[in-house]
Amino acid sequence: MKTQTMQDAGTAWLAKMADPNAWQDLLKQPNITQFSQFANGAMMPPPLSQDLAMLIEPDTLTKLQADYVKQFGELWQTMASAKPPEIRDKRFNGEAWQANSLYAFNAAAYLLNARFLMAMVDSVKATGKIRQKIRFAVQQAIDAMSPSNFLVTNPEAQKKLIETRGESLVHGIALMLADMQKGRISQSDETAFEVGVNVATTEGAVVFENELFQLIQYKPLTKTVYKRPLLMVPPCINKYYIMDLQPANSLVRYAVEQGHTVFLMSWVNPGPELGNAGWDDYIEKGPIRALEVARAITGQDQVNALGFCVGGTIISTALSVLKARGENPVASLTLLTTLLDYSDPGVLEVYIDEAQVARREASIGKDGLMPGRDFTAAFSSLRPNDLVWNYVEQGYLKGIKPPAFDLLYWNADATNLPGPMFCYYLRNMYLENNLREPGKLTVAGQKVDLGRIDVPAFIYGSREDHIVPWTAAYASVNLINPGKPENNRFVLGASGHIAGVINPASKNKRSYWVAPQGAGDAQAWKASAEERPGSWWVEWARFLAENGGGETSAPRKYGNAKYAPTEPAPGRYVKAKAA
C-alpha cells in the first residue's frame, strides 16, 4: 500500500511538473544555490526537496541527509581554508571559476546539491518509468539552475563584460532579442547556410510530386550504374538534407558515387491545408507511390529501399502493406537507427504516456498540426546543457555568436506534422507498440505484418544513440525475415543518432562492429562482434552492391516521358519553413 501511495504521489508530482506555469516559475529563480535553504537538514530547492521527500522511505531519506550534511561540511572547511574545491565539470573549468574562492564554492555547492537531488531520485520507490520521468524533470531543473547560466554568478561572463566595456552584454542582448523573434535559441550561425546553395547541393531534379512529397532523382557520377535503383526515405519530422549536408559528408552523394541511381523523398512541410492527413495517407501517398515512380522510370521490377529513423518505420509499414497486396517491389531493405519494436523507446519515453498522448489527440487528433518548433524544443531538452544552456551562456551572457555548423543549422530547420498522422504514430507505436504484433494494425486497407518482409535487410544502430537505443534497433533483426535471421545483417556504429549515421567513409573516423548474423539477442550479438576502424558506409556499400542486380549504362536524363523533371534539386518542398 505504501509503495502504491508513493507511486500515486509521483504521478501527481509529474503532472504538476508538466504544467508550463510550474516551469516558468522555476526558471525565474536566479540559480540553485541562491534560492537553496536547509529543508529537513539539507540545502536544496524547497519545491523539489519537499516533493521528492514524500516519495522516499524515511530511513533512506535520513541517510541521504546525513551524507549531504557531511559533504557540505567538508566543502565549507575547504572554503574556510582558502583552498579551491575540486570541480570536475566542463561548465566550471575556466580559470575565472578557480581564481575566486567564492565562485568556486558556488559551483561546488551547486554540484553537491545536484548530486544530492539525483540521489533522492534514485531512492524514490516507484516503477522504472515513473522514476525515469522524475529523473528527467529533476535533471531539467538542475541544469537550468546552474550558476553558469546567470550573469550575476558567472565570473567568465563578468570578466568579458569588463574587458569589452559592456559590448559583450550589448551583443548578448541583441542575440537574445533576435532569438525571441524566432521563438527558439540559435545553435548555429544560420546566415552561413542556404538550402540548395551550400547544403543539399547534390545535383538532381524533381521528377514527381504530390501533396506529401517531391521525388528527387540524382545525376549519376559513374559511367555505369547498378540496374536496381536506390530509394531513400528520410524521416518526415526533419528535412531530408541531413542525408545531403555538404559533398564531404553526404550519404546521398556517396551512394551516387558507388554507382547507384538514387531517388529520394523530400517530405512536404505541411500547413493547415494538410491538417487532416493521417498515417494511411503517409503510407499510401508516400513510399508506395515513390516505389511505383522509381520502378517506372528505371524499368526495374525491384528497387533497393532505405529508411532513416521514422522513415524506416514508414517504409517497413509500406512494404508490409504491399506484400499483403501480393506485390514485391524491393530487393533489399536498409534501416538506419529505426524502431519497429518500441519496447525500449529511449529517452523519448519521458514524453510518452496515456495522459500526454490523449492530450495531443484531443487537440490535434482529428485536424491540426504538430508544430515543428515543439519537436525542436523536445529534442533539445534531451541534452539541455549542450543544446540549450551552452548557447545561453555563450550567446546571451558573453555575446558570442554561435559558429556556422551545418548539422545544427539542419537541426533548427523545423518541420510540422499533420496532427492525425502524428497522434496515430504516438499511440500505435510509442504508447501501445502495436506495429510489432502481426495483424494488430490495419493500414491502407491491409493487416500489417512485418514478418511478410522477406528480403535481405541491412540494419544499423548507433552505440551512443539516446533516441533509438542500439539494442532497440537490433530488435528489428527478429521482426524481419522471421526464422531466417541469416538474411539480415546488423551493423553497430560508434557515436549517436545523427553523428553515427553521418560518418563519411572518406574521413575514416570512428569505428563499427560486425558479427555473423544468427538468432539471439543484442548482447549475444555484441559479444561475438568484431570492431573495424572507419565508417560503416563501406559495409553498407558492399551490401547494396550484392543486391544491385548487375550493371548497365548510366541514364542520360532524368525521369521519363510520363515523369518528366519539373525543377532542379533540392526542390521547393525542402525550402518551406515551419510557421
**Domain of 320: which CATH number?**
3.40.50.1820
CA-to-CA dists, residue 246 to 196, 236, 403, angstroms: 10, 20, 17
- Domain stops at, among 163, 196, 220: 163
What pLDDT, on the 0 to 100 scale, is given for residue 491? 97
| 57 plus 152 within the same structural domain | yes
| 152 plus 26 within the same structural domain | yes
| 286 plus 151 within the same structural domain | no
- Of 306, 309, 357, give the one whose Cα is nearest residue 330: 306
Do the bridges between strand 230-233 and strand 303-308 make them parallel or antiparallel, or are there none, so unpaired? parallel
Q: Give me the domain span that covers residue 326.
A: 204-341+450-575
How many CA within 13 A on the CB side of residue 424? 21
Which amino acid is it at 409?
A: Y
- Domain stops at, among 163, 192, 225: 163
The total number of structural domains in the chain stands at 2
Helix (H) or strand (E) holding 135: helix 128-144
Residue 176 lies in a domain: no
Furthest CA-CA distance within the chain: 84
| 220 plus 330 within the same structural domain | yes
The residue behind cell 496532427 is 419
Residue 91 lies in a domain: yes
Give per-residue pLDDT as tens, 51-98. 677 778 888 888 988 998 899 888 888 888 877 788 889 999 999 998
- Of 347, 350, 348, 278, give the one whose Cα is nearest residue 314: 278
Give the separation between CA 526 and CA 523, rounded to whole angstroms: 5
DSSP-based three-state secondary structure for 402: coil
What pLDDT, on the 0 to 100 scale, is given for residue 132? 86
| Residue numbers in the chain where pLDDT is lower than 70 | 1-51, 518-519
| 159 plus 213 within the same structural domain | no
| 148 plus 219 within the same structural domain | no
- Of 340, 312, 362, give the one whose Cα is nearest residue 434: 340
Q: Is the peptide bond before 570 cis (omega within 30 degrees of 0)?
A: yes
Residue 523 lies in a domain: yes
| 256 plus 138 within the same structural domain | no
What pLDDT, on the 0 to 100 scale, is given for residue 8? 52
| 130 plus 215 within the same structural domain | no
| 91 plus 141 within the same structural domain | yes
| 36 plus 158 within the same structural domain | yes
DSSP letter for 545, please.
H
Residue 380 lies in a domain: no
Residue 333 lies in a domain: yes
Residue 397 lies in a domain: no
C-alpha cell at 454: 522477406
CB contact set of 71 (below 8 Å; sequence gap of 6+): 112
- Of 319, 295, 325, give the one whose Cα is nearest residue 306: 319
Q: pTM here?
A: 0.89
What pLDDT, on the 0 to 100 scale, is given for residue 318? 98
Residue 246 lies in a domain: yes
Q: Which of 109, 309, 339, 388 is catalytic?
A: 309
423 is an active site residue? no
| 455 plus 328 within the same structural domain | yes
CA-to-CA dists, residue 387 to 379, 384, 402, angstroms: 9, 5, 12
C-alpha cell at 129: 518509468
CB burial string 493-521: b at 16+ within 10 A, e below: bbbbbbbbbbbbbeeeebbbbbbebeeee
Do the bridges between strand 442-443 and strand 446-447 make them parallel or antiparallel, or are there none, so unpaired? antiparallel
| 135 plus 208 within the same structural domain | no
Give the separation between CA 50 and CA 382, rounded to whole angstroms: 25
Residue 199 lies in a domain: no
